[in-house]
Amino acid sequence: MSAEIIPGLIVRSQSGFFTVQTESGLVTCHLRGRLKQGKHVGDLAAVGDRVQVSCQPDGTGSIETIEPRRSALVRLDPRPQGVYQQVILANPDQAVFVFACARPAPRLRMLDRFLVIAEKQGLAAIIVANKIDLVGREHAEKMFGFYPPIGYPVIYACAKAALPEGHRDGASCGDEPPYVQRDNGAGGAREIGQGVEELRETLTGKVSALAGPSGVGKSSLLNAVQPGLGLAVREISEAFQKGRHTTNVRQLFPLEGGGYVADTPGMRSLALWDTEPEELDGYFPELAALVAACQFNDCRHKSEPGCAVRAAVEAGRVHPQRYDSYLRLRAGEE
């Protein structure tokens, strides 16, 4: 008797086992031995991959085939045999990059690098500016307001109120400027809950990668979007995870309104691999529109005469921070 073969989506991966969402529920699978034959430089199967599984009578299954990936978020993991491509999420529809307005202070150069990765993968990118309660919406818009005109929507959010004085929440960052002290009156921030509905609408019906530095409130936001998720936030997870850093779980969470979201750890080291310096301007939408007007077609947009990019920066049509990010990424700085 041959086992039944059914299609599914990998929603969880841990230590060589995969949980596959199929029409008939979740099936725990391993990877067919023959799939592992031959040389491979990265994960063969990953969360987000569409697969065909054969189900055994005992309810377990094996992954028989993996459909080609449309896109992937990849981390490069240097190993003795060479650099290994660890797939953080296969086939995302969009990337949601979360940064905090303060605690920790946003590192927009990191955001710009994430945006380049999304462009290269052909993914729509959305920015969430969280913790607006710490700086106020107006100030938050000053920090992130130049992104929507170049094609990246920004959701201004407050997942939760700041803890009372004496409870330092979030990461304490040495390089962080003093955040604006605000008196929100009794009962916590008036901004609380802002952006949550907008984020929920953005996530519904799609497969999204939620990424951003540690402590910015990614888990808090997801818990606010869908209270049933019960993701551990920093206070708990830090104590809990002592000595558990070898655990490597990747997971897609199903959303009540449809779609999935992945809380992606380790985005800091997301790889921008395989990008030639000359193609980088193509991944900055506001620069890509200008390069055809540069005098030289191999213009580096640095000090060449007749550079349309520099002219636009000087005229205030390209934000100097974005231009700076471009130059640094091009020079190979992270």
Ligand X SMILES: Nc1nc2c(ncn2[C@@H]2O[C@H](COP(=O)(O)OP(=O)(O)OP(=O)(O)O)[C@@H](O)[C@H]2O)c(=O)[nH]1
* Contact residues: ligand X, CB under 6 A: 130-131, 133-134, 158-160, 162, 169-170, 214-220, 233-235
Report d(CA 64, CA 62) in Å as an integer.
Answer: 6
Query: At closest approach, how far in Å is the CB of 110 from ligand X?
Result: 13
| Region from 135-143, 236-244, 259-267, 288-296 binding Zn ion, contact rule CB under 5 A | 288-296
The option from Mg ion, ligand X, Zn ion, none interacting with 195 (CB < 5 to 8 A, set by class) reads none
Residue closer to ligand X, measured from CB, 140 or 299: 140
Which residue is closest to Mg ion by CB?
Answer: 219
Distances (CA, A) of 29 to 82, 179, 246: 28, 48, 21
Query: At closest approach, how far in Å is the CB of 120 from Mg ion?
Result: 25
| Region from 58-66, 159-167, 303-311, 326-334 binding Zn ion, contact rule CB under 5 A | 303-311
| Region from 2-10, 134-142, 307-315, 318-326 binding Zn ion, contact rule CB under 5 A | 307-315
Query: At closest approach, how far in Å is the CB of 219 from ligand X?
Result: 3
DSSP E strand stretches across the chain: 4-14, 17-22, 25-31, 50-55, 61-66, 72-79, 82-90, 94-100, 124-130, 154-156, 207-211, 250-254, 260-263
301 is an interface residue for Zn ion by CB under 5 A: yes
Question: Beta-carbon neighbour count of residue 4 at 10 Å?
Answer: 13
Question: Beta-carbon neighbour count of residue 105 at 10 Å?
Answer: 18
307 is an interface residue for Zn ion by CB under 5 A: yes
Report d(CA 319, CA 296) in Å as an integer.
Answer: 22
The option from Mg ion, ligand X, Zn ion, none interacting with 309 (CB < 5 to 8 A, set by class) reads Zn ion
Among residues 74, 73, 118, which one has the least CA distance to residue 283? 118
Query: At closest approach, how far in Å is the CB of 268 from ligand X?
Result: 9
294 is an interface residue for Zn ion by CB under 5 A: yes
Residue closer to Zn ion, measured from CB, 250 or 301: 301
The option from Zn ion, ligand X, Mg ion, none interacting with 294 (CB < 5 to 8 A, set by class) reads Zn ion
Is residue 119 within 8 A of residue 322, CB to CB? The reply is: no
Rounded to the nearest 10°, the torsion over CA 306, 274, 209, 109 is: -40
Backbone angles phi, psi at 182, to 5 degrees: -130, 140
Amino acid sitting at position 20: V
Token pair recorded at residue 248: 């490597």
Query: At closest approach, how far in Å is the CB of 199 from ligand X?
Result: 12
Report d(CA 76, CA 110) in Å as an integer.
Answer: 17
Interface with Zn ion (CB under 5 A), residue from 73, 125, 287, 309: 309
Residue closer to Mg ion, measured from CB, 103 or 218: 218
User: Contact positions toward Zn ion, by CB under 5 A?
Assistant: 294, 299, 301, 307, 309
